[in-house]
């Protein structure tokens, strides 16, 4: 958390700073998950945001000076914007001011996120980008690709969905919702998924993630959009955090897989 829908919602919200020139950068910590690059203030200052985009769970702000500013929100990070004077709040680690008086703030209570600055042409060579699999919403995510990757796997499909080296962007919350929508048990091993089920799974991936984006993501703990609005997809959860809920003569149960909570309906999601 935040997962792909929350990051996409945040990136879309940042369109308000596209083509805006940065006037000042203030850094209030030396380290988040990683140390903040020492040259970040110099490169950001007086540059202009030429493009905003998302790669998996990363927000990319391309600059007009040939660099890209990368933001990863980690577990509890969020971006917020305001106008004119801003009074710093607790856990505000990076404050960027623009010529037009807009202000962008990176806030992260747990410091699991990070920021980076790299030359745009070398972005794809960064380890955290280079190791990503196909984006969960990319048209390149096809059943043949996934079948080829998992047809010999002894790993449960729930854990496969969380493997960012295979499919980038899906986290724990949406994995449970996707598998429920596809009526696939989270315990099913990759090698036991026939191509027809994989096609169904990819359809559910797109359906759930796109719907979550329409609802502005999910606000479970810390997440808010850049203007402070709460996401509302949590009101559409079918199984996540719904242990004991009755669904069509079945009941949502909670199990733990690889240290992460999984919610599912054993009868409905029985594809053995």
Structure-model confidence comparison of residues 218 and 251, the more confident one: 251
C-alpha–C-alpha distance, residues 18 and 48, integer Å: 8
Identify the CA nearest to 157 among candidates 174, 143, 175: 175
Q: What pLDDT is attached to residue 84?
A: 73
Helix (H, G, I), strand (E, B) or coil at 263: strand
Question: Would residue 53 show up in a list of annotated catalytic residues for this protein?
Answer: no
Q: How many CB atoms lie within 10 A of CB 191?
A: 11
Structure-model confidence comparison of residues 112 and 219, the more confident one: 112
**Residue 101 has which token pair?**
């008086």
Q: Are strands 134-135 and 167-168 parallel, antiparallel or unpaired?
A: parallel
Mean pLDDT within 80-102: 90
**Residue 11 has which token pair?**
């990136």
Split into its structural domains, the chain has a count of 2
Question: Would residue 254 show up in a list of annotated catalytic residues for this protein?
Answer: no
Looking at the structure, tell me whether residues 146 and 246 fall in a common domain.
yes
Looking at the structure, tell me whether residues 225 and 142 fall in a common domain.
yes
CB-based contact 92:105 (threshold 8 Å): yes
Identify the CA nearest to 272 among candidates 183, 158, 161, 142: 183
**Residue 52 has which token pair?**
């905003």
- Choosing from 78, 103, 130, the residue where a domain stops is 130
Question: Would residue 251 show up in a list of annotated catalytic residues for this protein?
Answer: no
Identify the CA nearest to 161 among candidates 205, 223, 222, 96: 205
Mean pLDDT within 24-37: 95
**Residue 239 has which token pair?**
């199984």
Q: Which candidate in 2, 5, 156, 186 is catalytic?
A: 2
pTM of the entire structure? Answer: 0.92
CATH code of residue 29: 3.20.190.10
- Choosing from 69, 99, 130, the residue where a domain stops is 130
Mean pLDDT within 209-222: 79
Q: Where are any strands of DSSP class E within the chain?
A: 22-27, 49-55, 58-63, 67-72, 78-83, 92-98, 102-107, 114-119, 134-135, 167-168, 246-247, 250-251, 253-257, 260-264
Identify the CA nearest to 8 among candidates 252, 216, 272: 216
Helix (H, G, I), strand (E, B) or coil at 84: coil
What torsion, rounded to 10 degrees, do the Cα atoms 19, 69, 66, 53 define? -60
Q: What pLDDT is attached to residue 86?
A: 83
Contacts 24+ apart (CB under 8 A), 140-144: 141/167, 141/202, 141/205, 142/202, 143/195, 143/198, 143/199, 143/202, 144/195
- Choosing from 76, 98, 130, the residue where a domain stops is 130
Q: Which candidate in 3, 6, 8, 177 is catalytic?
A: 3
Domain hosting 191: range is 135-264
> Please, which pLDDT band fits residue 235 given cuts at 50, 70 and 90?
confident
Mean pLDDT within 241-252: 95
Residue 88 has, within 13 A of its CA and on its CB side, a CA count of 14
CATH code of residue 222: 1.10.8.50
Q: What pLDDT is attached to residue 234?
A: 77
Distance of CA 149 to the CA centre of its chain: 22
Q: Which candidate in 57, 158, 200, 242 is catalytic?
A: 57
**Is the pLDDT at 223 greater than 70, yes or no?**
no
> Please, which pLDDT band fits residue 85 given cuts at 50, 70 and 90?
confident
Q: What pLDDT is attached to residue 2?
A: 81
Look at residue 271 and tell me if it is in a domain: no
Q: What pLDDT is attached to residue 231?
A: 61
**Is the pLDDT at 228 greater than 90, yes or no?**
no
Q: What pLDDT is attached to residue 230?
A: 58
Question: Would residue 3 show up in a list of annotated catalytic residues for this protein?
Answer: yes
> Please, which pLDDT band fits residue 224 given cuts at 50, 70 and 90?
low
Q: What pLDDT is attached to residue 169?
A: 95
Looking at the structure, tell me whether residues 140 and 235 fall in a common domain.
yes
For residue range 108-154, list pLDDT tens digits in order. 999 999 999 999 999 999 999 999 999 999 999 999 999 999 999 99
- The label of the residue with tokens 């030359």 reads 119
Identify the CA nearest to 112 among candidates 2, 222, 32: 32
Q: Which candidate in 21, 238, 260, 266 is catalytic?
A: 260
Q: What pLDDT is attached to residue 69?
A: 98
């Amino acid at each position: 958390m935040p997962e792909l829908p929350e990051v996409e919602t945040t990136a879309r919200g940042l369109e308000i700073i596209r083509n805006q020139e940065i006037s000042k950068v203030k850094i209030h910590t030396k380290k988040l998950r990683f140390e903040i690059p020492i040259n970040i203030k110099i490169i950001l200052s007086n540059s202009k945001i030429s493009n905003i985009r998302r790669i998996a769970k990363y927000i990319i702000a391309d600059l007009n000076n040939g660099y890209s500013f990368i933001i990863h929100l980690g577990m509890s990070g969020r971006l917020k914007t305001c106008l004119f004077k801003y009074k710093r709040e607790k856990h505000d680690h990076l404050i960027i001011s623009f010529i037009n008086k807009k202000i962008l703030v990176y806030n992260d209570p747990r410091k699991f996120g990070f920021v980076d600055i790299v030359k745009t042409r070398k972005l794809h060579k960064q380890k955290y980008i280079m190791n990503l699999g196909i984006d969960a919403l990319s048209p390149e995510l096809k059943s043949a690709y996934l079948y080829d990757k998992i047809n010999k796997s002894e790993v449960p499909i729930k854990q496969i969905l969380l493997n960012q080296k295979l499919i980038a962007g899906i986290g724990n919350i949406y994995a449970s919702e996707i598998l429920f929508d596809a009526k696939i048990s989270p315990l099913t091993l990759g090698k036991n998924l026939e191509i027809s089920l994989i096609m169904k799974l990819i359809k559910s991936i797109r359906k759930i993630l796109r719907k979550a984006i329409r609802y502005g993501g999910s606000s479970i703990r810390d997440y808010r959009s850049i203007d402070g609005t709460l996401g509302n997809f949590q009101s559409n959860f079918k199984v996540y955090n719904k242990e004991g809920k009755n669904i069509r003569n079945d009941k949502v149960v909670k199990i733990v897989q690889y240290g992460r909570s999984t919610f599912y309906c054993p009868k409905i999601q029985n594809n053995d």
